[in-house]
């Protein structure tokens, strides 16, 4: 194994888990490989065919990704090719059937569409494994669900005894179970690497004034330009990409856009310029990412709350692959948080909508937390259960630590408002009540007559939302997520708090950290 690794890839030793996975595959075992981006998953399926001289079939979701990989392998003298759905080239087909490829990439559509005789022919020459890359795509709970991935277990009967290898960089326990089930993995050997990326600094900036958002971002970025190195700025929409590029260019930065509406030629050019350090900043949609193998990206910035922590982890993880200090900043406004409907719109099933919404709420909580960002991420991925101080995120390195204030009065008001509105709504109505709104939906329900009506005028809606986030996090409020909205109610702990105040006439102290939005 070491000899082949050195011969074809030039590496003198294995990274954690690579050797174990390869050995299991050689024994014919199914494998589930969950390793962080950049940790070297590809070797796990690229090495066995070179040892056994039998083709490895690799299912991958994107043509561009396959092209990159095929090119990389060919340069190393490995016989690699890809078959996409649109491809009708008979020679590739024939050569594949002849066992002339070490690594054969296919889109899931193609893999499900090729005839049984293709598999029979391939099998006659020998198949070392079937790898399913980006395996989280099979799961409705995953952040990048793809229907085509769901039929892959149908390949089993065509490839008896061939080990199936599922690989992904992101998997919560739920997704992990889904992968095993959907692909029908048999007592799979599971390799789970740590998700921690210690060299990455995580930080979040909540910006309040939406209008000045881009300018503020541009100013912040300009402070570091030059010393920050290669930077990707991710935006959620093409419109945002264009606006941010404009703001940056106006501020004198060397930034260029990258998104799906640009021509292939232009995109390739931006990619090339970025790879060769001619261009320092790319402002992009998620279209820019898969297949980017630049080891020395120093900074990934998110403009707007991402749609899930899986996506955030994957996108932010593109920096610092060389292990050197790198930063991931996330800029958001509360306005971002209303995009739930936008994200759930494309989902067909109720379960899927709920999953998308939950994933989005987890990302919102990451934005709002005053706890360690790294711990928040690692807890989400089920790697740790308690929060600790990582010393390398904005919350852990806050000068003088986090500041606390007694927010008993405000917490009492918010809990009372949620309770007196009946716990049947999101946060909008109780906060409107606190702020003394006379809107129709308030008056029609008689909420303008509630004792708490207008008692919270002194604080902005965002201030109250931020408090609600904290009360949710501490278990004083409950949220139940429906497909496109959530309902907030007072939890047992909150009831006790209200009850004790009513009984004793004193509201007990409630020290809470002051986050950016509350400052």
Which chain residues interact with Zn ion by CB under 5 A? 372, 374, 390, 393, 396
**Dist. CA 189–CA 185, nearest whole Å:** 9
293 binds ligand ADP (CB under 6 A): yes
DSSP β-ladder status, 404-406 and 511-513 = antiparallel
Q: Which does 11 bind (CB under 5 to 8 A by kind): ligand ADP, Zn ion, none?
A: ligand ADP
For every residue of 455-474, DSSP letters joined together read TTTTS-HHHHHHHHHHHHHT
Q: Which does 492 bind (CB under 5 to 8 A by kind): Zn ion, ligand ADP, none?
A: none
Q: Which does 131 bind (CB under 5 to 8 A by kind): Zn ion, ligand ADP, none?
A: none
Q: Which does 390 bind (CB under 5 to 8 A by kind): Zn ion, ligand ADP, none?
A: Zn ion
330 binds ligand ADP (CB under 6 A): no
To the nearest whole angstrom, how small is the minimum distance from the Cβ of residue 43 to ligand ADP? 5
Q: Which does 393 bind (CB under 5 to 8 A by kind): Zn ion, ligand ADP, none?
A: Zn ion
Tell me the per-residue interface mask from 40 to 79 with ligand ADP, x by CB under 6 A, - otherwise: xxxx------------------------------------
38 binds ligand ADP (CB under 6 A): yes
**Dist. CA 383–CA 198, nearest whole Å:** 14
Q: Which does 374 bind (CB under 5 to 8 A by kind): Zn ion, ligand ADP, none?
A: Zn ion
To the nearest whole angstrom, how small is the minimum distance from the Cβ of residue 36 to ligand ADP? 7
- Segment interacting with ligand ADP (CB under 6 A) among 36-44, 148-156, 174-182, 490-498: 36-44
CA–CA–CA angle 359, 133, 237 (5° rounding):
45
**Dist. CA 134–CA 145, nearest whole Å:** 10
**DSSP assignment, residue 509?**
P
**Dist. CA 325–CA 419, nearest whole Å:** 47
Query: Which is closer to ligand ADP, CB of 69 or CB of 236?
Result: 69
Backbone phi and psi for residue 326, each to the nearest 5 degrees, phi listed first: -145, 160
**Dist. CA 29–CA 175, nearest whole Å:** 21
Query: Which is closer to ligand ADP, CB of 43 or CB of 235?
Result: 43
Cα→Cα distances 317→196, 297, 354, 442, Å: 10, 10, 26, 45
Query: Which is closer to ligand ADP, CB of 39 or CB of 364?
Result: 39
Q: Token pair for residue 8?
A: 């074809």
15 binds ligand ADP (CB under 6 A): yes
11 binds ligand ADP (CB under 6 A): yes
State the alpha helices, DSSP H only, in 101-237: 108-113, 116-125, 173-182, 213-224
Query: Which is closer to ligand ADP, CB of 11 or CB of 404?
Result: 11
Query: Which is closer to Zn ion, CB of 390 or CB of 413?
Result: 390
**Dist. CA 294–CA 134, nearest whole Å:** 19
Residue 495: partners with Cβ closer than 8 Å, 6 or more residues away: 419
Query: Which is closer to ligand ADP, CB of 18 or CB of 230?
Result: 18
- Segment interacting with ligand ADP (CB under 6 A) among 9-17, 112-120, 221-229, 347-355: 9-17
- Segment interacting with ligand ADP (CB under 6 A) among 11-19, 419-427, 452-460, 488-496: 11-19
Instruction: Give the H/E segment covering residue 142.
Output: none
Instruction: Give the H/E segment covering residue 493.
Output: helix 492-504
Other beta carbons less than 10 A from residue 150's beta carbon: 18
Query: Which is closer to ligand ADP, CB of 38 or CB of 142?
Result: 38
Residue 401: partners with Cβ closer than 8 Å, 6 or more residues away: none
**Dist. CA 197–CA 211, nearest whole Å:** 34
- Segment interacting with ligand ADP (CB under 6 A) among 13-21, 177-185, 407-415, 427-435: 13-21
Candidates 25, 34, 35, 498: give the one binding ligand ADP (CB under 6 A). 35
To the nearest whole angstrom, how small is the minimum distance from the Cβ of residue 374 to Zn ion? 5
To the nearest whole angstrom, how small is the minimum distance from the Cβ of residue 393 to Zn ion? 3
294 binds ligand ADP (CB under 6 A): no
322 binds ligand ADP (CB under 6 A): no
To the nearest whole angstrom, how small is the minimum distance from the Cβ of residue 320 to Zn ion? 16
Spatial contact of 313 and 340, defined as CB atoms under 8 Å apart: no
**Dist. CA 237–CA 322, nearest whole Å:** 29
To the nearest whole angstrom, how small is the minimum distance from the Cβ of residue 395 to Zn ion? 6
CA–CA–CA angle 409, 413, 416 (5° rounding):
135
- Segment interacting with ligand ADP (CB under 6 A) among 39-47, 90-98, 298-306, 366-374: 39-47
Q: Which does 426 bind (CB under 5 to 8 A by kind): Zn ion, ligand ADP, none?
A: none
**Dist. CA 243–CA 151, nearest whole Å:** 40
Q: Token pair for residue 507?
A: 């509201």
Query: Which is closer to Zn ion, CB of 73 or CB of 377?
Result: 377
Q: At what angle do helices 461-473 and 408-420 cross, to 10 degrees?
A: 90
To the nearest whole angstrom, how small is the minimum distance from the Cβ of residue 15 to ligand ADP? 4
229 binds ligand ADP (CB under 6 A): no
Question: What is the Cα 102 distance to its own chain's centre?
Answer: 32
Q: Which does 372 bind (CB under 5 to 8 A by kind): Zn ion, ligand ADP, none?
A: Zn ion
188 binds ligand ADP (CB under 6 A): no
- Which residues would be at the binding site for ligand ADP (CB under 6 A)? 11, 14-15, 18, 35, 37-43, 293
């Amino acid at each position: 194994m070491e000899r082949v690794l050195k011969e074809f890839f030039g590496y003198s030793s294995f990274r954690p888990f690579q050797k174990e996975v390869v050995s299991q595959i050689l024994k014919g075992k199914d494998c589930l490989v969950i390793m962080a981006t950049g940790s070297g998953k590809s070797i796990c399926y690229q090495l066995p065919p070179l040892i056994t001289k039998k083709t490895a079939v690799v299912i991958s979701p994107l043509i561009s990704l396959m092209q990159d990989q095929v090119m990389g392998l060919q340069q190393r003298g490995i016989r690699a090719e890809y078959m996409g759905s649109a491809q009708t080239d008979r020679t590739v087909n024939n050569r594949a059937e002849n066992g002339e490829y070490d690594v054969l990439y296919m889109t899931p559509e193609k893999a499900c569409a090729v005839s049984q005789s293709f598999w029979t022919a391939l099998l006659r020459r020998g198949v070392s494994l079937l790898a399913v890359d980006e395996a989280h795509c099979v799961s409705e709970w995953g952040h990048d669900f793809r229907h085509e991935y769901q039929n892959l277990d149908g390949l089993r009967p065509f490839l008896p005894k061939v080990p199936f290898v599922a690989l992904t960089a992101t998997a919560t326990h739920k997704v992990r179970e889904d992968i095993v089930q959907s692909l029908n993995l048999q007592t799979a050997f599971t390799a789970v690497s740590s998700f921690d990326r210690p060299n990455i600094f995580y930080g979040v900036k909540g910006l309040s004034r939406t209008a000045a958002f881009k300018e503020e971002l541009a100013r912040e970025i300009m402070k570091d330009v030059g010393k920050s190195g290669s930077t990707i700025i991710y935006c959620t929409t093409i419109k945002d990409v264009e606006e941010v590029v404009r703001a940056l260019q106006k501020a004198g930065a060397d930034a260029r856009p990258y998104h799906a509406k640009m021509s292939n030629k232009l995109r390739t050019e931006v990619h090339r310029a970025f790879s060769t350090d001619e261009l320092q900043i790319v402002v992009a949609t998620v279209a820019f990412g898969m297949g980017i193998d630049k080891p020395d990206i120093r900074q990934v910035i998110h403009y707007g709350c991402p749609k899930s922590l899986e996506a955030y982890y994957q996108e932010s993880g593109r920096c610092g692959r060389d292990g050197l200090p790198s930063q991931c900043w996330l800029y958001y406004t509360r306005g971002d948080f209303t995009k739930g409907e936008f994200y759930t719109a494309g989902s067909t099933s109720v379960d899927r909508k709920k999953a998308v919404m939950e994933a989005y709420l987890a990302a919102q909580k990451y934005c709002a937390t005053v706890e360690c960002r790294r711990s928040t991420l690692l807890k989400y991925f089920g790697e740790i259960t308690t929060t600790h101080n990582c010393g390398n995120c904005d919350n852990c390195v806050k000068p003088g630590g986090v500041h606390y204030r007694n927010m008993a009065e405000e917490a009492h008001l918010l809990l009372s408002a949620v309770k007196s509105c009946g716990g049947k709504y999101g946060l909008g109505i109780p906060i409107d009540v606190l702020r003394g709104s006379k809107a129709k939906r308030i008056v029609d329900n008689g909420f303008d007559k509630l004792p708490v009506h207008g008692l919270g005028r002194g604080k902005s809606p965002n201030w109250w939302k931020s408090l609600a986030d904290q009360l949710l996090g501490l278990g004083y409020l409950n949220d139940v997520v429906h497909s496109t909205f959530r309902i907030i109610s007072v939890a047992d702990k909150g009831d006790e708090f209200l009850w004790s105040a009513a009984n004793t006439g004193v509201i007990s102290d409630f020290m809470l950290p002051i986050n950016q939005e509350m400052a």
